[in-house]
Structures are given as structure tokens and as C-alpha cells.
């Protein structure tokens, strides 16, 4: 798996994931909205932690940048 989620994108995902988790607990985790929010929070937090988003891969999107790849190729 190559990283396709950049640093800023990862930070935004982490903040939104935590907000979704808090919101899920405030509306009740066992309610329909709570379950949906837990799923959204889990996806955001996992993709933030591993730096890879399967949807980005399908759409050909990368916010990771190419600085690392350019430095590696120059060596």
C-alpha cells in the first residue's frame, strides 16, 4: 500500500473522526445516526492513521505529494 493521504489531509481526517465519535456518543451509539457516525469516525480515523484511502486510490487522487519520491529518485 502506498500512501495517498498527505499530512494536512490526515490531520483533518483525525479531527473530523474524533468529532464524529463525540457526536455519535452524544446522540446515542445505539441509534441509527449514532451507528452511522461511529462508522464514519472509524473510517476517518483508520485512514488518517495508516495514510491510505481506498476511495482516493479508485479515483486516482493523492494528497501525499511527491517530495519524498523526488528525493529518492535523485539519489
Q: What is the pLDDT of residues 33-74, one digit of tens each?
A: 999 999 999 999 999 999 999 999 999 999 998 665 444 444
Cα gap 66→34, rounded to integer Å: 38
Does the residue 26 lie in any domain? yes
6-26 residue pLDDT tens: 999 999 999 999 999 999 999
What pLDDT, on a 0 to 100 scale, did the predictor assign at position 25? 96
- pTM above 0.85? no
SS3 4: coil
Could you list the residue range(s) of the whole structural domain that residue 25 is in?
7-53+62-70
47 is a domain residue: yes
Task: Work out how many domains the chain is built from and give that number.
Answer: 1
Cα angle value 31/55/51 (rounded, 5°): 95
Tell me if 1 is assigned to some domain: no
pLDDT of residue 67: 62
pLDDT confidence of residue 24: 97
Q: Is residue 45 part of a domain?
A: yes
Amino acid at each position: 500500500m502506498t500512501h495517498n493521504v498527505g499530512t494536512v489531509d490526515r490531520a483533518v481526517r483525525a479531527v473530523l473522526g474524533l468529532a464524529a465519535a463525540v457526536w455519535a456518543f452524544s446522540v446515542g451509539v445505539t441509534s441509527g445516526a449514532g451507528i452511522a457516525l461511529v462508522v464514519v469516525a472509524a473510517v476517518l480515523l483508520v485512514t488518517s492513521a495508516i495514510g491510505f484511502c481506498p476511495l482516493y486510490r479508485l479515483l486516482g487522487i493523492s494528497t501525499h505529494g511527491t517530495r519524498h519520491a523526488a528525493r529518492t529518485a535523485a539519489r
